[in-house]
Amino acid sequence: MITITVNGAPHEVDVEEGMPLLWVLRDVLNMTGTKYGCGVAACGACTVMVDGAPVRSCSFPAALAVGKAITTIEGLKSGETLHKVQQAWIAEQAPQCGYCQSGQIMAAVALLNEKPQPTDAEIDAAMTNICRCGSYAQIRAAIHAAAKA
Protein backbone atom coordinates (compact mmCIF):
# COMPACT_ATOMS: atom_id res chain seq x y z
CA MET A 1 0.00 0.00 0.00
CA ILE A 2 1.23 3.45 -0.82
CA THR A 3 -0.47 6.80 -0.48
CA ILE A 4 -0.10 9.33 -3.24
CA THR A 5 -1.54 12.84 -3.32
CA VAL A 6 -3.14 13.78 -6.61
CA ASN A 7 -4.51 17.27 -7.10
CA GLY A 8 -4.56 17.73 -3.35
CA ALA A 9 -6.42 14.52 -2.51
CA PRO A 10 -4.69 11.53 -0.90
CA HIS A 11 -5.26 8.10 -2.46
CA GLU A 12 -4.26 4.81 -0.92
CA VAL A 13 -3.38 2.33 -3.64
CA ASP A 14 -2.24 -1.29 -3.52
CA VAL A 15 0.22 -1.53 -6.39
CA GLU A 16 3.62 -2.98 -7.16
CA GLU A 17 6.73 -0.95 -6.33
CA GLY A 18 7.60 -0.42 -9.95
CA MET A 19 4.16 0.38 -11.32
CA PRO A 20 4.45 3.63 -13.25
CA LEU A 21 2.45 6.59 -12.00
CA LEU A 22 0.74 6.82 -15.40
CA TRP A 23 -1.05 3.52 -14.95
CA VAL A 24 -1.92 4.16 -11.34
CA LEU A 25 -3.59 7.37 -12.43
CA ARG A 26 -5.34 5.90 -15.46
CA ASP A 27 -6.27 2.37 -14.45
CA VAL A 28 -6.39 2.42 -10.66
CA LEU A 29 -7.73 5.92 -10.01
CA ASN A 30 -9.55 6.13 -13.38
CA MET A 31 -8.12 9.60 -13.98
CA THR A 32 -7.77 9.24 -17.73
CA GLY A 33 -6.84 12.82 -18.65
CA THR A 34 -3.16 11.79 -18.52
CA LYS A 35 -2.36 9.83 -21.68
CA TYR A 36 -0.27 6.89 -22.78
CA GLY A 37 1.71 7.48 -25.95
CA CYS A 38 4.93 5.48 -25.84
CA GLY A 39 5.69 4.18 -22.35
CA VAL A 40 9.38 4.98 -22.75
CA ALA A 41 9.57 8.70 -21.88
CA ALA A 42 9.84 9.64 -25.55
CA CYS A 43 6.62 11.51 -26.35
CA GLY A 44 5.43 13.45 -23.31
CA ALA A 45 1.74 12.49 -23.61
CA CYS A 46 1.87 11.32 -19.99
CA THR A 47 3.36 14.51 -18.55
CA VAL A 48 2.19 15.46 -15.04
CA MET A 49 3.78 17.70 -12.45
CA VAL A 50 5.38 16.33 -9.32
CA ASP A 51 6.12 19.12 -6.86
CA GLY A 52 5.78 21.55 -9.76
CA ALA A 53 8.32 19.88 -12.06
CA PRO A 54 7.24 18.15 -15.28
CA VAL A 55 7.52 14.37 -15.08
CA ARG A 56 6.88 11.72 -17.73
CA SER A 57 4.65 9.55 -15.63
CA CYS A 58 4.96 6.45 -17.84
CA SER A 59 8.53 6.10 -16.67
CA PHE A 60 8.14 7.30 -13.10
CA PRO A 61 7.26 4.72 -10.45
CA ALA A 62 4.27 5.82 -8.40
CA ALA A 63 6.19 4.89 -5.26
CA LEU A 64 8.62 7.75 -5.93
CA ALA A 65 5.75 10.23 -5.72
CA VAL A 66 4.86 9.32 -2.15
CA GLY A 67 4.90 12.43 -0.03
CA LYS A 68 4.92 14.69 -3.05
CA ALA A 69 2.23 16.78 -4.71
CA ILE A 70 1.10 15.33 -8.04
CA THR A 71 -0.80 17.64 -10.37
CA THR A 72 -2.61 16.27 -13.40
CA ILE A 73 -4.61 17.94 -16.15
CA GLU A 74 -7.76 17.35 -14.09
CA GLY A 75 -6.30 19.44 -11.29
CA LEU A 76 -5.39 22.58 -13.20
CA LYS A 77 -8.73 24.34 -12.87
CA SER A 78 -9.46 26.30 -9.78
CA GLY A 79 -13.13 25.75 -9.13
CA GLU A 80 -14.80 26.24 -12.47
CA THR A 81 -12.11 28.59 -13.79
CA LEU A 82 -9.69 27.16 -16.26
CA HIS A 83 -5.98 27.75 -15.75
CA LYS A 84 -4.70 30.58 -17.95
CA VAL A 85 -2.77 28.06 -20.05
CA GLN A 86 -5.97 26.11 -20.72
CA GLN A 87 -7.73 29.34 -21.63
CA ALA A 88 -4.95 30.26 -24.03
CA TRP A 89 -5.21 26.77 -25.56
CA ILE A 90 -8.88 27.42 -26.30
CA ALA A 91 -8.27 30.94 -27.56
CA GLU A 92 -5.64 29.68 -30.00
CA GLN A 93 -7.74 26.59 -30.85
CA ALA A 94 -4.61 24.53 -30.29
CA PRO A 95 -5.91 20.95 -30.08
CA GLN A 96 -6.54 18.95 -33.21
CA CYS A 97 -7.16 15.33 -32.23
CA GLY A 98 -6.34 16.56 -28.74
CA TYR A 99 -4.67 13.40 -27.52
CA CYS A 100 -1.26 14.95 -26.86
CA GLN A 101 -2.67 18.12 -25.37
CA SER A 102 -2.93 17.13 -21.71
CA GLY A 103 0.79 16.48 -21.77
CA GLN A 104 1.51 19.62 -23.79
CA ILE A 105 -0.48 21.76 -21.37
CA MET A 106 1.25 20.27 -18.33
CA ALA A 107 4.65 20.83 -19.93
CA ALA A 108 3.67 24.42 -20.74
CA VAL A 109 2.43 25.10 -17.21
CA ALA A 110 5.70 23.77 -15.81
CA LEU A 111 7.67 25.90 -18.27
CA LEU A 112 5.76 29.06 -17.37
CA ASN A 113 6.24 28.38 -13.65
CA GLU A 114 9.95 28.30 -14.31
CA LYS A 115 10.13 31.02 -16.95
CA PRO A 116 7.12 33.32 -16.96
CA GLN A 117 8.12 34.98 -20.26
CA PRO A 118 9.79 32.25 -22.33
CA THR A 119 11.55 33.05 -25.59
CA ASP A 120 10.99 30.93 -28.68
CA ALA A 121 14.29 29.19 -28.02
CA GLU A 122 13.21 28.38 -24.47
CA ILE A 123 9.93 27.04 -25.78
CA ASP A 124 11.83 24.86 -28.27
CA ALA A 125 14.03 23.52 -25.51
CA ALA A 126 11.27 22.84 -22.98
CA MET A 127 8.47 21.63 -25.23
CA THR A 128 9.76 18.32 -26.51
CA ASN A 129 6.39 16.57 -26.49
CA ILE A 130 5.23 15.03 -29.76
CA CYS A 131 2.06 16.27 -31.44
CA ARG A 132 1.40 13.93 -34.32
CA CYS A 133 -1.29 16.27 -35.63
CA GLY A 134 1.35 19.00 -35.90
CA SER A 135 -0.31 21.70 -33.81
CA TYR A 136 3.04 23.24 -32.83
CA ALA A 137 2.31 26.69 -34.26
CA GLN A 138 -0.86 26.97 -32.17
CA ILE A 139 0.88 25.60 -29.07
CA ARG A 140 3.68 28.14 -29.40
CA ALA A 141 1.18 30.97 -29.86
CA ALA A 142 -0.82 29.76 -26.86
CA ILE A 143 2.26 29.70 -24.62
CA HIS A 144 3.10 33.27 -25.59
CA ALA A 145 -0.52 34.29 -25.03
CA ALA A 146 -0.60 32.64 -21.60
CA ALA A 147 2.67 34.37 -20.69
CA LYS A 148 1.00 37.70 -21.37
CA ALA A 149 -2.22 36.85 -19.53
Which positions lie near ligand FES, rule CB under 6 A? 36-39, 41-46, 56, 58, 95-101, 131-133, 135
Residue 19 or 69 with smaller CB distance to another protein = 19
Task: Identify the residue among 47, 56, 72, 147 touching another protein (CB under 8 A).
Answer: 72
Three-state SS string over 30-68 comes to CCCCCCCCCCCCCCCCCEEEECCEEEEHHHCEHHHHCCC
Task: Identify the residue among 71, 101, 118, 146 touching another protein (CB under 8 A).
Answer: 101
Q: Which does 60 bind (CB under 5 to 8 A by kind): another protein, ligand FES, none?
A: none
Query: From residue 119 to residue 148, what is the string marking binding to another protein with x (rule CB under 8 A)?
Result: ----xxx-xxxxxxxxxxxxxx--------
For 99, the 3-state DSSP assignment is coil
State yes or no: residue 30 binds another protein (CB under 8 A): yes
- Rounded to whole angstroms, how far apart are CA atoms 46 and 55? 8
83 DSSP 8-state letter? P
Q: Quick check: 47 and 129 in contact, CB under 8 A?
A: yes
Q: How many residues bind another protein (CB under 8 A)?
A: 59
